[in-house]
Chains A and B, each alone.
Chain A
Amino acid sequence: MNKDYIYFDNAATTRIKPDEVYQAFSYFVTNIGASPGRGSHPLAIEASRMLYQVRKTVANFFNCPSSSQVIFTKNATEAANLFFRGYLQPGDHVLISMHEHNAIFRPVEQLRRQGKISYSVYPAPYSGAAWDYGEIERLITSRTRILALSLASNLTGEVFFSPDIVSFLKKHGIKLLLDASQGAGRLRPNIAANGIDYLIFTGHKDLYGLPGTGGLCCLKPPEFEPLLQGGTGGDSSTWTNPDATPEKYEAGTANMPALWSLKAGCEYVKLNHAAISEKERVLYRYCYDNLRQIPRVKLYGTPKREANLPILLFNIDGMDCQELATELNQQRICIRSGLHCNILGHTSLGTEKTGAIRVSLDYNNKLEEIDTLLDIINRLAKE
């Protein structure tokens, strides 16, 4: 089945995981199968021990000061909701960039509609460009508590985060929420060294975990309210979650098979980082250099592409992107078309009405697969 499809939707989910990830999943479901923090029998203890090891691995991966400051959720969206709903107080103001994914935009917009907070959208520069701090300063109010920023674009692969933003924010007493959903595995943001107050991540993309894992990492011990109330495994006599971090933020049974796989994914990425990045550079450059030469192909994003993640966004002039997607689907090429859960980003690119085609590459792709894509695009662009 793998050979039948060409998979270029890795920015949504990496499809092919390292063998170690599948083995970890299989090990957990075959040999453990119990819930961490629930019970004191040997399998529950082993599951709890393994959960701690996952937490430690993730903390090390992002250089988070303590494993207890890593809160697991089912994905980055849940982590964003946990953070905004727990951290923000009535009347607070938030800054979100013009590139933010709906996972950031929608929770903030919903809180605004409920009359709880206000927010402003600020311009963030594309890869390598300078920040216009004056523009952001004009949007800051006395109630601005958080600036949310994507590590990188899920549309164009451009990298937005630069450590400079942290010192600017410190000057104004504003905390940073970094959405590392795209690029966590490739860019490996360093929480302690860069002073990133809060970082959200998802496991199923370039960390090579299985779907159903994500989290919020905190520079300092979190002190806000949890999103969910329920069983935490400890102190079952209290009527709300007990005050124990990180468990109070993780009510309900953890997705332990996927979390144990996430550990394997993080370790794989750490060990093979240079080889993965190098291969993806080659694939990305090849795809970009050839796509841009096809008449009628319009590529979006900055031409300064060396630092970008291997994601390309384009249209064929005069052709509906959904039509193009249908053609590619029929050839068993998996790309994603439309608005990619990012209406703000598409609006800033001017593609909010047309949508676009996204090709997102991964280490496991091959040059020949890109050739197949290019042949089809070439043919369609000539019609």
Chain B
Amino acid sequence: MYLIFYSTNDVYEVEELLRENGISFEIVPTPLKESIYCGVCIKTEEPVALAKNLLKEYRFKIA
């Protein structure tokens, strides 16, 4: 799944958060159909609930 953020700064803040929580992920280009968001997003196979729980403070969508 993709975690797609409005703000680029949030991508890298979340990157740090995921790393601290031992969640595997990758930073990849945002799929073009989601181009209303920033240029890169986070791709992870971790369960949606876990990601959502960690990211309550952020403006993002899951695709």
A-side residues, CB < 8 A to B, are 36-40, 45, 48-49, 51-53, 55-56, 67-68, 233-238, 242-247
With a cutoff of 8 Å between Cβ atoms, the chain A residues found around residue B7 in the complex are 68, 234, 244-247
Q: Point out the residue from A40, A45, A55 that lies within 8 Å of B9, measured CB to CB.
A: A55
With a cutoff of 8 Å between Cβ atoms, the chain B residues found around residue A53 in the complex are 12
Leading 4 A-B pairs by shortest Cβ distance: A234-B38, A52-B12, A40-B29, A244-B6
Sample 6 A-B pairs with CB under 8 A, ordered by A number. Answer: A39-B39, A48-B12, A234-B7, A234-B8, A235-B37, A247-B9
B1 within 8 A of A: no
Classify chain B's interface size. 20 to 34
How far is B28's CA from A68's CA once the two chains are assembled, in angstroms? 21
Q: Point out the residue from A236, A237, A247 that lies within 8 Å of B8, measured CB to CB.
A: A247
How far is B7's CA from A317's CA once the two chains are assembled, in angstroms? 57
B40 within 8 A of A: yes
What does DSSP make chain A's interface, helix, strand, loop or mixed?
loop
Asked whether B28 lies within 8 Å of A243 as measured between CB atoms, the reply is: no
Asked whether B6 lies within 8 Å of A234 as measured between CB atoms, the reply is: yes
With a cutoff of 8 Å between Cβ atoms, the chain A residues found around residue B6 in the complex are 234-235, 242-244
Asked whether B38 lies within 8 Å of A244 as measured between CB atoms, the reply is: yes
What does DSSP make chain B's interface, helix, strand, loop or mixed?
mixed
Q: Point out the residue from A67, A68, A233 that lies within 8 Å of B38, measured CB to CB.
A: A233
With a cutoff of 8 Å between Cβ atoms, the chain A residues found around residue B12 in the complex are 48-49, 51-53
B11 within 8 A of A: yes
How far is B41's CA from A40's CA once the two chains are assembled, in angstroms? 9
Asked whether A48 lies within 8 Å of B35 as measured between CB atoms, the reply is: no
Residue of A nearest to B11 (CB): A48
How far is B27's CA from A36's CA once the two chains are assembled, in angstroms? 14
With a cutoff of 8 Å between Cβ atoms, the chain A residues found around residue B35 in the complex are 235-237
Known: A234-B6, A236-B35, A244-B7. 4 other contacts (CB 8 A): A45-B40, A67-B13, A234-B7, A235-B38
A37, A236, A245, A246: most-surrounded residue (chain B CB, <10 A): A37
With a cutoff of 8 Å between Cβ atoms, the chain B residues found around residue A51 in the complex are 9, 12
Distance in angstroms from A205 CB to nearest chain B CB is 25
With a cutoff of 8 Å between Cβ atoms, the chain A residues found around residue B28 in the complex are 40
How far is B39's CA from A38's CA once the two chains are assembled, in angstroms? 7
How far is B28's CA from A37's CA once the two chains are assembled, in angstroms? 12
How far is B16's CA from A146's CA once the two chains are assembled, in angstroms? 36
Q: Point out the residue from B13, B27, B36, B40 that lies within 8 Å of A237, measured CB to CB.
A: B36
Distance in angstroms from A59 CB to nearest chain B CB is 10
